[in-house]
Amino acid sequence: MSIAPDPTHDPRLRSWVASANVPGCDFPIQNLPFGVFRRAGGGESFRCGIAIGDCVLDLGALDMLGPFEGLGAEALAACAEPSLNRLMALGRQSWAALRRGVSACLREGAPRAAELGTALIRRSEAEFTLPARIGNYTDFYASIHHATAVGRLFRPDQPLLPNYKWVPIAYHGRASSIVVSGQEVRRPRGQILPRGAERPQLAPSARLDFELEVGVLIGTGNSLGCPVPIAEAEKHVFGLCLLNDWSARDLQAWEYQPLGPFLAKSFATTISPWVVTLEALAPYRLPWSRPPEDPQPLPYLDGAQLRAGGAIDLHLEVALETQAMRAARAAPQPLARTNFRHSYWSVAQMVAHHTVNGCNLETGDLLGSGTQSGPEPEEAGSLLELTQGGQRAIRLASGEARTFVEDGDRVILRGWCERPGCARIGFGEASGTVLASI
């Protein structure tokens, strides 16, 4: 919230990487998101990179050219590793110095453009892995629209439980099954209680769903026993990514009481390969507010900085590509669009609440926002909402219908920020294709 737009956000900036100047490009010079990559099929080691246009800037190769001094040089040296963790642990001043340096290197007219061009690799020639070593994963429930819609399906008389408007609800997820975009997801098996039955059975999930979420990657951690004040919370956040918290709704319905999700969630979580930094998102901040008729947050979850710019104007979309669409070479069909600005709880509030009991967040920890749904039915971020719990099938342009995700379906999440007077920046995509259960 303390990050202000600077010359790296100037919408007039252009890059000597021509593809970065194409209108609608996700990765113009104003973005500069981080990821971890290598050349596909060559057996090389993974290393850190920055997306620019249709290319990846190899930060290890850039470091060998010695373009920076001071904090920027230190931050660049931390990128010659197979994860972003070392860079993320350096803190906001180092991240900002590296952003300024890379921006200067990639601008039109940069004096060493020809030499720096040797550090570029086409994204189409690269493969990606998780951007960070993720030690812990916490999934929040930050959309009141999603919480209310789902609650209405199961508790029509009390859709929203009393604590929701007071507490940023979350559960501890499984970090070992987080995968990067493009990987396949095996349909999970688990206990299911069929309608009208008295005994559960072990079976593949028949109600596999996606969840359109935003991921929050922690940069610098906090010491055990030392809460992070809300005014300091975003200093600990490196950046955001897209996140699909795959969910087996039939497993979830049987197992979630009294302790919450388990096998219904732990089989896979897909994230995008690119992490868009909070520095890049500075022009897209919005005031955060709570409806006046709702209880206002407790003091540790409130503050002037939060109110001034705690929300983020991030457009989100989920699309579906079936096997039949792929065979016909048809484009994936968008199912819903929403915006992260509708989130009831902000990024800073998630961090502040997570640590208020003294819990220590660590570099590389991942927070999920929970399904992001907007106030309108077409802004729902899950099939559970879009199909009213499977009661109303979605008709696709291909002639097919869906109530839940079927084998062979590819789910694609996309995100982008755009507003007048600012350059459009994107998050790329987080996609996964479902395989049949074993």
Which pLDDT score is estimated for 299?
A: 98
3-state secondary structure of 273: coil
Average pLDDT over residues 251-262: 92
Read off the pLDDT of each residue in 218-228 and give the average, rounded to a whole number: 98
> Mapping DSSP to helix (H, G, I), strand (E, B) and coil, where does residue 131 land?
coil
Domain assignment of residue 248, given as a range: 137-435
Alpha helical stretches, state H, 299-420: 304-309, 323-327, 347-355, 383-386
Q: Are residues 262 and 219 located together in one domain of the fold?
A: yes
In a shared domain, residues 218 and 264: yes
**Confidence band of 420 (pLDDT split at 50, 70, 90):** very high
Residues 51 and 146 in one domain: no
How far, CA to CA in Å, does 293 sit from each of 11, 165, 300? 39, 11, 20
Residue with tokens 């028949």: 206
Residue 141: give its domain's CATH number: 3.90.850.10
Please list, in sequence order, all residues whose beta carbon lies within 8 angstroms of the beta carbon of residue 403, skipping any fewer than 6 positions away.
207, 383, 387, 390, 391, 392, 393, 394
Assigned domain for 144 exists: yes
Final residue of a domain: which of 129, 155, 182?
129
- 213 and 285 housed in the same domain: yes
Residue 1, pLDDT > 60, answer no
Quick one: which of 408, 412, 398, 405 has its CA closest to 435? 408
170-192, pLDDT tens digit by residue?
999 999 999 999 999 999 999 99
Query: Are the C-beta atoms of residues 108 and 152 closer than 8 Å to each other?
Result: no
The pLDDT-based confidence of 432 (bands split at 50, 70, 90) is very high
Tell me phi and psi for residue 68, to 5 degrees. -120, 170
List, in sequence order, every residue forming a beta bridge with 128; answer none if it has no partner: 37
340 within some domain: yes
How much of the chain exceeds pLDDT 70, in percent? 100
* 108 falls within a domain: yes
In terms of domains, do 263 and 326 share one? Answer: yes
Give a yes or no: residue 256 inside a domain. yes
Can you tell me which residue has the tokens 């100037």? 10
With CA atoms as reference, report the closest residue to 102 among 64, 137, 59.
59
Scan for tokens 């459009």, then name that residue. 424
Residue positions annotated with a catalytic role: 146
pLDDT for 154 equals 85
Pairing of strands 247-248, 212-218: unpaired
Q: Are residues 167 and 122 in the same domain?
A: no
> In this structure, are 338 and 418 located in the same domain?
yes
One domain for residues 348 and 420? yes
d(CA 128, CA 132) in angstroms, rounded, equals 11
Whether residue 104 has pLDDT greater than 80: yes
Digit-coded pLDDT (tens) for 14-40: 999 999 999 999 999 999 999 999 999
Same domain, 224 and 341: yes
366-368 and 137-140 strand pairing: parallel
Q: Give the pLDDT confidence score for residue 344 in this predicted structure.
A: 98
pLDDT one-digit tens code per residue, 62-88: 999 999 999 999 999 999 899 999 999
Query: Domains in the chain: how many in total?
Result: 2
Looking from the CA of 61 toward its CB, the CA atoms found within 13 Å total 16
Residues 259, 395 within the same domain: yes
* Residue 2 located in a structural domain: no
Write out pLDDT tens, residues 272-308: 999 999 999 999 999 999 999 999 999 999 999 999 9
What mean pLDDT value characterizes the chain? 96
Phi, then psi, of 238 in degrees rounded to 5: -75, -50
Q: How confident is the model at residue 2 (pLDDT cuts 50, 70, 90)?
A: low
Q: In the listed set 129, 150, 182, which residue is the last one of a domain according to the structure?
A: 129
Q: What is the pLDDT of residues 312-335, one digit of tens each?
A: 999 999 999 999 999 999 999 999
Query: Quick one: which of 368, 381, 433, 361 has its CA closest to 173?
Result: 368
Distance separating alpha carbons of residues 431 and 412, to the nearest angstrom: 4
Domain-embedded: residue 1: no
CATH number at residue 52: 2.30.30.230
Q: What is the structure's pLDDT at 43?
A: 86
Residues 419 and 341 grouped into a single domain = yes
Name the phi and psi angles at 224, rounded to 5: -55, 130
In a domain, 120, yes or no: yes
CA distance 345 to 289: 10
Let me know whether 191 and 339 are in one domain. yes
Q: Which two tokens stand for residue 410?
A: 């590819």
End-of-domain residue from the set 98, 129, 160 = 129
CA-to-CA distance for 27 and 13, rounded, in angstroms?
A: 13
The SS3 assignment for 247 reads strand
